[in-house]
């Protein structure tokens, strides 16, 4: 009986060890997949933020063109000063569009289309390749969405000369015979898809991650694939959505090597697991800390520790929802440092980084616990005042920020000085969505720069009206 009991005990011991190793094996595989999924999600979140950021600037240009054409229809070329595209060169619309198109490397052209037919294009040499694509796109579902009053991003479409473009359109409205606003065409911009993907980091995407984008004409999950392997949308991949005017893109990604651990690594861990079972708790702790670190990195700026664009959008969503329920206001402040480039050029980038970290610290010290500061990149920051009763409170905070940021900085390379230009938009007066508020605050910030820098400016009433009118129409 003793040998039998010994055999049974030995078998039970071996079985227990095998079960423990199998459990460790299964646990590690699950952990590997979770960490791989989190890594992919981190990359995908960053790509989404860069895509939306790049598009935000181009759509701001589209909004500016629409506002110009609506407010100055004769000067814009709807009733041309010399005829759209005439021998006298570009009309007023073309001259206005030149500065805006040159402001973004993604923009290839801007056009005016009264009656949904392309009448004027800047630059003029883009007219032939652009006209066919733009005219062909302004039909069907795109036309219906335009006439409903919203901006639309369609494409991509191939153009003569190579490449693909996205066409962003914004409707134009004017009084009809009965005095009511009538649809009378649209303005648009052509966005170079390759340049847009390059700005979002997709051209140099890491080889460890496979990524695909689908959603021609903003058709989201159902549209054709416009970048990457279509099979990614047929497998269990990480997904997210990039919101577009009048639609969305769907993004899918997975590790290049798949979700399973490689065989040799797995066998090594099985053998080691028999001898190092006692270290499991430490491994779990390390994995948990790694998980936390990756999450923090995905939502915060690495240099300053401030929230990044992804976390900022989430906080803005929450702030606007709370303001809508509580009846208070939310202010969005767009900040851009003045004369920061000379610091990098003369004192070096390390000193420039010290200044950026000091700016972030000063913003933290100025704000309340309910407010937020974020860094969008470079020398651009955003401050969100989530609970204010009067719009004038935002101006008081902005002035304190101007005074604080303008104070000298003691750095390892000597004393440095910079200023800050601030644009302010306020919910609900200036816009109903955080995207609108950011666009308007950014415009006001550039107005502050044009007026001498190191100051703040609010949204002028003539720029506020298009958003306000759209919100009123949507509410009714």
> Over the stretch 90-102, which tens digit does the pLDDT of each residue have?
567 778 888 888 8
Q: Do 135 and 200 reside in the same domain of the chain?
A: yes
Identify the CA nearest to 269 among candidates 257, 254, 255, 279: 279
Residue 315 sits in the same domain as residue 256: no
Same domain, 257 and 315: no
Place of tokens 């649809």: 183
* pLDDT of res. 136: 47
Does residue 359 sit in the same domain as residue 431?
A: yes
Q: Are 329 and 391 in contact (CB under 8 A)?
A: yes
In terms of Cα–Cα distance, which of 187, 225, 226, 202 is closest to 94? 187
What CA–CA distance (Å, rounded) separates 128 from 109? 12
**Same structural domain for residues 250 and 354?**
no
Q: Do 355 and 381 meet the contact criterion of CB atoms below 8 Å apart? A: no
Residues of the chain with pLDDT under 50: 1-7, 9, 79-89, 132, 136, 277-278, 280-284, 467, 473
Omega before residue 34 within 30° of 0, cis? no
Cα gap 147→139, rounded to integer Å? 11
Q: Is the peptide bond before 428 cis (omega within 30 degrees of 0)?
A: yes
The rounded distance, in Å, linking the Cα atoms of 276 and 279 is 6
- pLDDT of res. 30: 73
User: What is the model's pLDDT at position 403?
Assistant: 95
Please give the pLDDT value at position 3.
46
DSSP 367: S
Q: Do residues 432 and 467 lie in contact, with contact meaning Cβ atoms separated by under 8 Å?
A: yes
Domain membership of residue 300 (yes or no) is no
Q: Are residues 208 and 348 in the same domain?
A: no
pLDDT at 286: 53
- Determine phi and psi for 235, rounding to 5 degrees: -110, 175
In a domain, 274, yes or no: no
Instruction: Give the model's pLDDT for residue 199.
Output: 83
Cis amide leading into 123 (omega within 30): yes
CB distance 112 to 84 below 8 Å: yes
Strand-strand pairing, 107-114 and 181-192 = antiparallel
The verdict on 240 and 313 lying in the same domain is: no
Domain range enclosing 80: 30-261
Q: Give the separation between CA 358 and CA 124, rounded to whole angstroms.
A: 46
Task: Kindly state the greatest CA–CA separation across the chain.
Answer: 111
CATH of the domain at 108: 3.30.450.20
Choose one of 196, 230, 261: the last residue of a domain: 261
Number of domains in the chain: 2
244/107 same-domain check: yes
> Residue 385 has what pLDDT?
94
234 and 133 in a single domain? The answer is: yes
């Amino acid at each position: 009986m003793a040998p039998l009991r010994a055999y049974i005990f030995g078998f039970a011991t071996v079985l227990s060890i095998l079960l423990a190793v199998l459990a460790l094996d299964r646990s590690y595989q699950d952990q590997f997949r979770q960490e791989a999924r989190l890594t992919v999600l981190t990359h995908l979140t960053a790509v989404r933020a860069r895509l939306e950021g790049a598009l935000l600037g181009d759509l701001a240009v589209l909004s500016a063109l629409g506002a110009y054409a609506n407010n100055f229809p004769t000067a814009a070329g709807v009733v041309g000063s010399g005829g759209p595209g005439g021998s006298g060169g570009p009309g007023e619309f073309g001259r206005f569009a030149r500065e805006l198109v040159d402001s973004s490397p993604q923009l290839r052209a801007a056009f005016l289309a009264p009656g949904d037919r392309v009448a004027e294009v800047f630059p003029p040499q883009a007219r032939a390749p652009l006209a066919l694509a733009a005219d062909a796109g302004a039909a069907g579902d795109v036309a219906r969405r335009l006439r409903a009053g919203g901006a639309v991003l369609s494409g991509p479409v191939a153009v003569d000369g190579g490449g693909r473009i996205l066409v962003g359109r914004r409707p134009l409205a004017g009084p009809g015979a009965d005095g009511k606003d009538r649809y009378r065409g649209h303005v648009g911009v052509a966005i170079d898809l390759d340049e847009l993907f390059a700005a979002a980091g997709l051209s140099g995407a890491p080889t460890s991650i496979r990524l695909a984008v689908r959603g021609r004409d903003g058709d989201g999950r159902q549209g054709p694939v416009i970048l990457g392997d279509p099979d990614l949308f047929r497998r269990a991949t990480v997904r997210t959505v990039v919101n577009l005017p009048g639609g969305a893109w769907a993004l899918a990604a997975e590790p290049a090597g798949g979700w399973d651990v490689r065989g040799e690594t797995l066998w090594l861990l099985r053998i080691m697991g028999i001898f190092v079972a006692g270290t499991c708790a430490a491994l779990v702790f390390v994995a948990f800390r790694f998980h936390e670190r990756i999450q923090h990195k995905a939502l915060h700026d690495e240099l300053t520790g401030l929230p990044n664009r992804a976390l900022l959008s989430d906080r803005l969503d929450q702030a606007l929802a709370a303001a809508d329920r509580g009846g208070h206001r939310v202010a969005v402040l767009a900040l851009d440092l003045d004369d920061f480039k000379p610091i990098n050029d003369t004192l070096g980038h390390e000193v420039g980084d010290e200044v950026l970290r000091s700016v972030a610290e000063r913003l933290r010290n100025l704000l309340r616990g309910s407010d937020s500061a974020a860094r969008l990149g470079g020398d651009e920051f955003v401050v969100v005042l989530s609970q204010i009763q009067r719009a004038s409170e935002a101006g008081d905070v902005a002035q304190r920020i101007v005074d604080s940021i303008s104070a000298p900085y003691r750095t390892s390379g000597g004393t440095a000085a910079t200023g800050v230009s601030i644009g302010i938009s306020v919910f609900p007066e200036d816009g109903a969505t955080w995207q609108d508020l950011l666009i308007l605050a950014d415009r006001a910030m550039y107005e502050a720069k044009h007026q001498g820098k190191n100051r703040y400016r609010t949204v002028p009433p003539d720029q506020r009206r298009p958003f306000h009118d759209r919100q009123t129409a949507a509410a009714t």
